[in-house]
Structure 1
Amino acid sequence: MPGIDLHTHLAPRVDEPPVGPPALYRPDLLEEYLDEADLDEAIVTIPPPFFRQGLDEPEARAWVRSVNDGLLRARDGHDRLTPLAYLPLEHPELALDEYERVRDDETWAGLTGAAGGGSSSLAAPELAPLWKALDEDGRMLLLHPGATPDPRLAPFYLTNLLGNPGETALAAAQLVFGDVLARHPGMRFVLVHCGGLLPAVVGRWQRGADTHRPGVPDLSESPRESVRRFYVDCLAHDRAVVDLAVTMFGRDRIVLGSDWPFPMGTRDPRALVAHRGEDFVHRAETRTAQVALGRSGPTVLTARTAASS
């Protein structure tokens, strides 16, 4: 099986000055990184500055079509770079329309959307038709934090260092407590940055459900069970956090992710999980990545095997 990096970025050429690192506009450099890392394929998405979550619906409709078509052009001729189509989750009807526009194009490996920021609550009824369509089609949606709307995080680069992991955990909470994951087992959600703050709060969520805290609904499955439906990349920059993620999500839920070409990423994603052993690394970059993308069947984890993970 090919080795896959499930979290990389390319930017489309649009009618404005370039945004972000110059390498975003160089698919050839992304292929050089794959060669350097001895990987075969990169799953690519537009970077967060291109999410444009503040646009109204008519502007967003034109923008989303432009960036998705532009991403296809950006990777044209680079067959090792496989794109994910962007869905604007802050406009649920538009997100469904865009999915229906791209759903039959096999060039796309799946979809991506913003975790938190300006997105609608992922538990909102307005998103139910989109989840139903993705579930029926067995599609993958990678959630990546965009802008963090909390002004307190402006100093010290905290919008990225703290805000991004928090937005990912918020999106995950909406999916867990909204019972979205349990109701749509046919689709797969991938969380970047090793799940953000999520691994650290699963126990607290479970305690809230066990003690019937106000506002916590009766769920089809417990938070601890539900989070094991997520796939997460390995980009934690800390072995202990990777180990915690394995405990919380399962060893068959961790994939490689570099966040290329951003400084908060890595050029050696294998090194982040190397301490787990060669078999674990190989599984993460091949089998688990293929399952997350819907290219092969999942390995079912029972409660017993999950506990031993």
Structure 2
Amino acid sequence: MTGIDLHTHLAPELPGFDVPRALYEPLRLERYLDTAGLDEAVVMVPPPFFQQHLPDAAEWVRRLNDGLCATVEAYPRLLPLGYLPLEDPSLAVAEYSRLRLSPVVGVCGSAGGRSVSLADPRFDPLWSLLDRDGRMILLHPGASPDARLNAFYLSNLLGNPTETALAAAQLVFGDVLARYPGIRVLVVHCGETVSSMIGRWQLGYDTSRPGIKPLTEPPSVAIRRVYVDCLAHDPMQVDHAMAVFGPDKIVLGSDWPFAMGTDDPYGQVKHLLAADRIRTTNGRQCLKGISL
């Protein structure tokens, strides 16, 4: 049986980064695919390379995206995502416009952290282009700005899930998902805490809490437009994500080569009746705007 992993990482070899050596070795990623019994992997640069603090990120982002495309050029099984600097909406639009005719199969960006709210109208040109192209945008947590999380690795264990949920909430309450239905939004780590929060979001909408505006679709409906990977490390959490997002919105994701990932993403979902669909069809649908 074949399949596609939609959440792996590679990077161009640039100085100054203390990251696993495997990030610079696409052949090792291909070997992982062989071991896992998968055909292809969608690859993105990892969070240390986001560099959202840069005052002018244009040159860095171009180097990053061109470097990643060059890194995987000789490896047709590895499908690159272009990185967009979501801390600068105008630059994100400009970079996506540049990347539209490049080899990227979609784009990615930092969820929460230093990113501008995804409900900000300055992102509307980007959403319009992604909607027109039917392209995927993968949202991956970068860094939490909360210094209280520095201890106990909580910046990852608690901060990342919170930042991801923040980005998803901005898409829901900003009515982005319903207004731009052609966009394929993929949220990693099984949607983080979103599946646990959607009932509260729906109640806030139903009771017209302050600041919540009328939406094209209520939160519990809009959220089913979002894809999530299977990386929950807990079968019960995967089951809950299935109920919230739908069996057609779960895809494989390993977070290779990081320690918080898995070498067997299919093992996260093999207990499900929809396991074969998750392994193959859902991933292809998420990349529908691209000819693979």
Q: Do both proteins adopt the same fold according to a TM-score greater than 0.5, normalized to the shorter chain?
A: yes
The offset of 1:2, in angstroms, is: 4.6
Rounded Cα–Cα distance in structure 1 between residues aligned with 2:258 and 2:32: 13
> Which residue in 1 is equivalent to 2:98?
101
1:217 match:
213
| Structure 1 CA distance for aligned equivalents of residues 87 and 279 of structure 2 | 31
CA RMSD of aligned residues (A): 1.3
Equivalent residues in 2 for 1:275-290, closer than 5 Å: 275-277=271-273, 280-290=274-284
Structure 1 unmatched runs, 5+:
297-309
Name the residue aligned to 2:81. 84
- Amino acid in the other structure paired with 1:27: P
String of CA shifts for 1:43-93, please: whole Å, max 9, x gaps: 00000000011111x3x0000000001101211211111100001111111
Residue of structure 2 in register with 1:52 after alignment: 51
The 5-angstrom pairing of residues 172-251 of structure 1 reads 172-251=168-247
1:3 paired residue number: 3
Aligned to 1:163: 159
Distance 1:136 1:89 in 2: 19
Which residue number corresponds to residue 33 of structure 1? 32
- The one-letter amino acid of 2:91's match is L
Name the CA distance, whole Å, in 1 between partners of 2:68 and 2:21. Answer: 15
> Could you tell me how far 1:17 is from its partner in structure 2?
3.3
User: Is the aligned partner of 1:13 residue 2:10?
Assistant: no
* Whole-angstrom CA distance in 1 between matches of 2:159 and 2:225: 23
Q: Residue 286 of structure 1: CA displacement? A: 1.0
Q: Distance in 2 between matches of 1:87 and 1:228?
A: 24
What is the DSSP-based 3-state SS (H/G/I as helix, E as strand, rest coil) of the residue aligned with 1:82? strand
Instruction: Report if the CA contact (8 A) 2:133-2:289 is conserved.
Output: no
Listed one character per residue, the Cα deviations across residues 206-232 of structure 1 (whole Å, up to 9, x for unaligned) are 011111111111111100001000000
Answer yes or no: is the 8 Å Cα contact 2:17–2:48 preserved in 1: no
Gaps of 5+ in 2: none
Inter-partner Cα distance in structure 2 for 1:104 and 1:22: 30
Q: Secondary structure at the match of 2:228?
A: strand
CA distance, structure 2, for counterparts of residue 287 and residue 10 of structure 1: 24
- Equivalent position of 1:43 in the other structure: 42
3-state DSSP class of the match of 1:275?
coil
Give the secondary-structure state (helix, strand or coil) at the position aligned to 2:97: helix
Structure 1 runs (4+) deviating above 4 angstroms are none
Report the TM-score when normalising by structure 1: 0.92
Q: Matched residue of 2:231: which SS?
A: coil
CA contact (8 A) 2:2 2:37 kept: no
- The alpha-carbon deviation at position 170 of structure 1 amounts to 0.3
Distance 1:2 1:36 in 2: 12
CA distance in 2, matches of 1:39, 1:119: 33
**Corresponding residue of 1:23:** 22
1:181 corresponds to which letter in structure 2? L
